[in-house]
Amino acid sequence: MLAEKDKYIKEAFNHLEMVSQNKEKQIAYNSRLKALTDYNSIMAERYETGRQEGIEIGEKKGRQKLLKELMEMGIALPDELLSNIKK
């Protein structure tokens, strides 16, 4: 049987076999599948949001460090840049 040779086909066959048994199992299976899909979607969104926030924080710290180093080197900086160091 082909399902025994390919793990993806076997998995799909097992799902089909399970949900085709009765209506109650179909509903439970679909509910569980939707819950997993929703969870994965939420986690992906949170991951991307956190990643973006981390990038922004890192860039801000990098700019602040650069400005401090320039000041330590004696390079005059405009007041608008100096205010960024404190933020």
Q: The whole model's pTM is what?
A: 0.57
CA dihedral 16, 19, 23, 29 (to 10 degrees): -140
Q: How confident is the model at residue 12 (pLDDT cuts 50, 70, 90)?
A: confident
Cα angle vertex 33, ends 13, 27, to 5°?
A: 85
| Model pLDDT for residues 36-83, shown as the tens digit of each residue | 999 999 999 999 999 999 999 999 999 889 988 988 999 888 887 777
Give the pLDDT confidence score for residue 53 in this predicted structure. 98
Number of structural domains found in the chain = 1
Q: Note down the domain range covering 25.
A: 2-86
